[in-house]
Structure 1
Amino acid sequence: MMGPVLAACLLIILSTAWISQANEALCKKDGGVCSCNNNKNSVDCSSKKLTAIPSNIPADTKKLELDYNKLSSLPRMAFHSLTSLSVLRLEFNKLQALSAGVFDQLVELGELHLQYNDLKSLPQGIFDHLTKLTILWLDQNKLQSLPHGVFDHLTKLTILGLRNNQLRSVPNRAFDSLSNIKTLWLDPNPWDCSCRDILYLRNWIREKQGNVSNIEAAECAVGNKAVLEITEKDAASDCVSPNTTTAIPIGTMTPASVIYDDIHEIKVPQENFQKFLGYQEPDHLPTQPQCLMSISGYLGLMMSLMLTSAAILYVFHFLKKA
């Protein structure tokens, strides 16, 4: 692991001056790429072909627009200083995954726009701290399943968009905490009406019909039948949830390729996995003094190894002469 750490350290040291200058220019008036409205605490960085989030967004920003860019990931600490943020627009990017805890400090957030990305899954508890959220857009992604309890803390949510994903079912009681929901888009998704776990969604739609807009449009993937019309006979099969994994029996010889494909499904706490790999996110890269210490330690280790090798060679040479 020394190579990547040293590379990161050297990169930090060599680019410090450049970063300092870049951090001084966020708004167009200062030579930056974003438009800033200080009176409204608004920062507009949309349609700038950004591949990374600017690091010097003012802490009192209330509206941050990052839509129509090329963001493929969000560092876990990207928004942790923006505790006043009420609107966050991230639609029309290339986000493939969300880091656990990335939204945890956005306790004032009212709107979150994540539509038109490439999200295939959501981390457990990703929205747990967004208790003031009223609008959540997740349309036009590639979501195949939802974590249990993913909406449990969103009691003020009024609009939820799940259109055009790959959802076949939702977890039991997935929408039970949405006491203020007024509009919920569920179509088109490939709802599997042959599985018993679709019955929760059917019952919820029947209960909320007339009070929540657009839910009646949810249709089964096969037969074009409305989800609210399916019967227990239709949904007679016990199906395996898309995110369920089967443990590999001990002592069973399994091809390495199969093991590799299954490893990513094993749910290991992220922090433990990162500690095991020695991984550090970009937000936790070592400081310059730490880098210097790391480099010094590494050079010292290399010097010790060289001296040890020289001593061994000398001993062999002495013994050979004797």
Structure 2
Amino acid sequence: MMGPVLAACLLIILSTAWISQANGATCKKDGGVCTCNDQTKNVDCSSKGLTAIPSNIPLETTQLRLNLNSLSKLSPKAFHHLSKLTYLSFDNNQLQTLPPGVFNHLVELDRLDLQYNELKSLPSKIFDSLTKLTLLRLENNKLQSLPHGVFDKLTLLEKLYLQINQLRRVPEGAFDFLSSLSDVTLYGNPWDCSCNDILYLSNWIREKKGTVSNIEAAECDGGTKAVLEITEEEAAEDCVYPNTTTAIPTTIITTLASSNDDDIPELPVPQENFQKFLGYQEPDHLPTQPQCLMSISGYLGLMMSLVLTSAAILYVIHFLKKA
């Protein structure tokens, strides 16, 4: 009976190895491109030339750095398995939009860095789940407007960076729920001081002057006057701006926001997409060249594990028949 016992032990060992291979390699110690620290639960994927987020980031990760890459878009489910994240960094990428619901599961997030991207708009309710956020960086993008109530759930937010965008106004009540704010940067935006929409911001700056840092630096378009100095007589026009608060039609956003994650259809994978065949699960998770080489190595290891596992199974069956 020792034969089947030894074979069973071998099967368990090989199965464990197979599961490890199937999970894919994200960290350098496993052949991946990112640096992982098991003690601090930090994963650093910065400066790797990534065009997509690596799959199989450890579930226990608390800090994830994806800055200084070439990311231009995200899958709506990119972080749905990383609910323990407290810090997420995307600065210095090429993000043009954020899909609705992409941050919905990051309920422990304390800091979010999105600066130095190409964001022109933000989806409505994009930050609603981030109720523990204390720092939000959106500076050096191309934001033209903000959705109404986009910051309403961020009652613990202390620092908000909005400088060097293309903002001409903020919605009425944009900052009313930010009771913990201590620092807001607004300079470097072409604030339109001819329209009465600017009066909310002007009054808010005057009210918070001395208690919230940096807000006094906001200037009207052309730098002729500070926003806080604008009077009702000067901002008399009733201006209408084009709707630039969303990157995709509102009807699509409403449908996606109201549906369950499981209802979001998966995109078909073309047969010729060899990178997907190598184990990247999300349609947007396309590996870079070093990742592709890593995946080939992992695939060969997986096939070897399968062969050895099959041999072990046949070995067990053989001894059971003889018994």
Give the TM-score band, short-chain normalised: 0.7 to 0.9
Tell me the residue number matched to 2:36: 36
Amino acid corresponding to residue 270 of structure 1 in structure 2: I
1:99 aligns with 2:99: yes
Match of 1:294 in 2: none
Moved over 6 A (4+): none
1:40 is paired with a residue whose SS is coil
> Would you say the 8 A contact 1:191–1:220 is kept in 2?
yes
Query: For the Cα contact (< 8 Å) 2:100–2:256, is it kept in 1?
Result: no
Alignment of 1:21-32 (within 5 A): 23-32=23-32
Return the letter of the residue paired with 1:147.
Answer: P
The 3-state SS of whatever aligns with 1:268 is helix
How far the C-alpha of 1:266 sits from its partner, in A, is 4.9
Whether 2:242 is the aligned partner of 1:267: answer no
The letter for the 2-side match of 1:230 is I
Question: Cα RMSD (Å) of the superposition?
Answer: 2.7
1:111 is matched by which residue type in structure 2?
A: R
Does the CA-based 8 Å contact 2:27-2:33 persist in structure 1?
A: yes
Q: Deviations over 1:159-205 (max 9, x none)?
A: 00001000000000000001000000001100000000100000000
Q: Which residue of 2 aligns with 1:214?
A: 214
Unpaired runs of 5+ residues, structure 2, are 1-19, 271-276, 278-323
Deviations 1:198-244 (A, max 9, x none): 00000000000000000000000035200000111110100003317
TM-score (norm 2): 0.72
Q: Distance in 2 between matches of 1:73 and 1:232?
A: 41
Residue 267 of structure 1, CA deviation: 2.3
Alignment-derived partner of residue 265 in structure 2: 280
The runs of 5 or more residues in structure 1 that have no matched partner are: 1-19, 246-263, 289-322
d(CA) in 1 for partners of 2:98, 2:72: 9
Q: Describe how 1:1-322 pairs up with structure 2 within 5 A.
A: 23-243=23-243, 266-270=249-253, 272=255, 280-282=265-267
User: How big is the shift at 1:283?
Assistant: 10
How has the CA–CA distance of structure 1 residues 104 and 116 changed in structure 2, closer, same or farther, with 3 Å as cutoff?
same
Alpha-carbon shift at residue 122 of structure 1 (Å): 0.2
Superposed CA deviations along residues 252-285 of structure 1, whole A, max 9, x for unmatched, are xxxxxxxxxxxx875213364899xx98345999
Please name the residue that 1:313 is paired with. Answer: none
**Larger relative contact order (Cα-Cα within 8 Å, sequence gap ≥ 6):** 2
**Could you tell me which amino acid in structure 1 is paired with residue 250 of structure 2?**
K
Q: Relative to structure 1, is the Cα distance of residues 88 and 75 closer, same or farther in structure 2, using a 3 angstrom cutoff? A: same
Identity of aligned residues (%): 61
Call closer, same or farther: CA 1:22–1:51 in 2, change over 3 Å.
farther
SS of aligned partner of 2:39: helix
* Contact 1:86–1:108 (8 Å) recurs in 2: yes
Question: Any conservation in 2 of the 1:216–1:226 contact (CA below 8 Å)?
Answer: yes
TM-score by length of 1: 0.72
Cα displacement string for residues 52-105 of structure 1 (whole angstroms, at most 9, x for unaligned residues): 101100111000000000000010000000000000000000000000000000
